[in-house]
Structure 1
Amino acid sequence: MVMRITQDDQSRIAQAIAAAEAATSGEIFCVVSRRVSSYGDVALAWSAAAALILPALLIPFGFEGVWPFGGGWEAAHESGLTVGRALGGYVAVQAAVFAGVLLLSLIPTVRRWMTPGGLRRARVRRAALQQFLAHGVHVTRERTGVLIFAALDDHQVELIADEGIHAQVDQGVWGDAVAALTTEMKAGRPAQGFEIAIGQCGQVLARHFPPRTDNPNELPDHLVIL
């Protein structure tokens, strides 16, 4: 199922950000990315490993890498020709396995299964940090910006809080917001997930960073879709 975020969803998220920020001097910034990486290196690694290992595993079962073309009578002493055909057949099987695994990796679900969870988390984290810096979430007056980042194809959610928040807030408090957004994304309700996560982040920020007398909106409230 391809998740869609409609204009109405974006309006709901923007309203949730504005409402949460009304009670705090902190800033909440939300980004959604369809994918953070093609993971082409992972697909190539799986394909190469399969091409090297699978044909070798077939040898104990009688696979001799016989060239699939030709045939007929041969002189037994023509060992060079026979070995050449066997090697050619083995290479052909390796090429077929490589191509087959590479084609399978084009299926998003298969590609996600091939990619180690730790690698996906690391690349989503890196993409979130890039967005954190690119949109200036780190340059608010009191360093109290929070980025909520969702990677749709990776099925990953990342939350990054700036330095000013780290000094006063236990990072474990963000777990409920991440869990809520993850649950709603799985259910195909991205707007509701963001609304809940934004509300929970706003409550944390309001407790530690109440609004100032002058409380400008330092970051846009709209959802950024990559």
Structure 2
Amino acid sequence: MAIRKISQMTEADHVLVTAAVADAERHTSGEIVTIVTDLSDHYEDIAMAWASAVAFIALATYATFPDFYIGLINGLSGGWGHEYTTGEYVALLLTAVALKWIGTWFILKWMPLRLALTPKSTKLARVRNRAISLFKVGTEAKTVGRTGVLLYLSMKEHRAEIVTDEAIASKVAPEVWGDAMVALLDQVKAGNPGTGVAAAVRQMGVVLAEHFPKGSENPNEIPDRLIEI
């Protein structure tokens, strides 16, 4: 699935987040990966579902009040009445329903509206699935001690996720990351996503340092840079 790269993150944001990751990892054997994306899913199935719902309602309305709509058609044609055959009426009905479906589909190509009509639970699930997918590709089992952790921010859904490797998940409950998520989302809402990611990384570093302190031999196994996709 192709996702358009965002423009909210500046070069200064990249520098800020990279420095925050490097600083956090100085005190822990954990490896922090940060990924920011514009959108986790295009929700085309949601647009299709709404278009189909509108078309079905239109079909039911046309079938319930045929005389009213036939009168409208005759009025548009200059008031000349026409006795429609069953085939002609079915053709008119299907054409009108198809136009409703296509019209709704095109309206919902405007992503803000599509997102507004997408259930919150669906957005949460899609963002989570995207985060897990990216974690499996770029973070999971990429460290000797299985101590990788992904901070994932999806801008348009206003959602973030923290996904951890096996060793971290066994010691750190998901709710422990609450301070990091609050620090992130507060700054994102204020229009400072880079500052938010850096703040979250610092909070994550505190947690990781407590449970996975820096060892005598601990190479930097994953690059510290902020990733935009």
Match of 1:100 in 2: 103
Unaligned runs of 5+ in 1: none
Does residue 163 (structure 1) correspond to residue 166 (structure 2)? The answer is yes
Does residue 177 (structure 1) correspond to residue 185 (structure 2)? The answer is no
Match of 2:14 in 1: 10
Match of 2:205 in 1: 202
> Paired residue for 2:129, among 121, 126, 135?
126
Q: How does 1:185-196 map to 2 (within 5 A)?
A: 185-196=188-199
RMSD: 2.2
Matched residue pairs, number? 220
**Is contact 2:22-2:224 (8 Å) kept?**
yes
What letter corresponds to residue 137 of structure 2 in structure 1? A
Q: TM-score, normalised by structure 1?
A: 0.88
> Any idea what SS the aligned residue of 2:153 has?
strand
Does residue 72 (structure 1) correspond to residue 80 (structure 2)? The answer is yes
Per the alignment, do residues 196 and 123 of structure 1 end up closer, same or farther by CA in structure 2, a change over 3 Å counting?
same
Unaligned runs of 5+ in 2: 1-5
Larger mean CA deviation between 40-49 and 6-15 belongs to 40-49
**Shift of residue 58, structure 1, vs aligned partner:** 6.1
The separation in 1 between residues aligned to 2:65 and 2:188, in whole angstroms, is 47
**Is contact 2:142-2:222 (8 Å) kept?**
no
Match of 2:24 in 1: 20
> Paired residue for 2:54, among 41, 47, 50?
50
**Shift of residue 84, structure 1, vs aligned partner:** 3.6
The separation in 2 between residues aligned to 1:34 and 1:73, in whole angstroms, is 54
Match of 2:215 in 1: 212
Q: How does 1:139-154 map to 2 (within 5 A)?
A: 139-154=142-157
Identity over aligned pairs, percent: 35
The separation in 2 between residues aligned to 1:61 and 1:183, in whole angstroms, is 52
> Any idea what SS the aligned residue of 1:36 has?
coil
**Shift of residue 64, structure 1, vs aligned partner:** 4.2
The separation in 1 between residues aligned to 2:92 and 2:127, in whole angstroms, is 42
Q: TM-score, normalised by structure 2?
A: 0.87
